[in-house]
Structure 1
Amino acid sequence: MPPDRETSSVIHDTSVIMGRNEERDMVIGDICNKDIGKHENGEVRVYGIWGMGGLGKTTLAQLVYNHETVDQYFDLKCWVYVSENFQVKEIMKKLLNQ
């Protein structure tokens, strides 16, 4: 198994942006839709991006995270790296530290 590669929200290679607009816009449309995810009971909505390694999941997440529409829609954003062997306590610590 390859070692964990910790990621960040920073896009290092701008050439990866080409051709990802459709997927990026679809995710942004879903997460910024005021009619989706309304919860009176305080539940948190999660949007999962999954697939085999090398498909561009992290790149897609970076493009969405850094888009101006997402910046305007959310008051607070946080990027947390989650490895394959993650621990919920560790993820929560990372979130709180951010």
Structure 2
Amino acid sequence: MAEVSKPIPLTKLGEEEFIDPANQACQGCAGSIVSRMVSKVLGSKGIRAQVACCGPAFMNIRTPSIYAEVFEGAGALMTGLSRAFKRMGRDDVIVAGIIGDGGTVDIG
């Protein structure tokens, strides 16, 4: 069973930003705020997987991001990436999908 990590206080996230401040997210978008916090927690070891939805509007450019034009393919995309990195011996890489409502609820 996976080990649950302890919560990280927001004050401990650090100053380094992984989301470009000039992104195309709507002003006050909760998705972009969550994406920013998740990217700070993952740091440089994180890879973001995106599918067709509003998420690519705030894709970061400071860490690797992968985009696939498949609404229902988020789970398959992340599974494939994770397995590929493990196969290459890169167990330190974390694949995370931050998918908007268009890629999870109404279409995916």
Report the TM-score, using the length of structure 2 for normalisation: 0.28
- Higher relative CO (Cα under 8 Å, sequence separation at least 6) belongs to 1
Report the TM-score, using the length of structure 1 for normalisation: 0.29
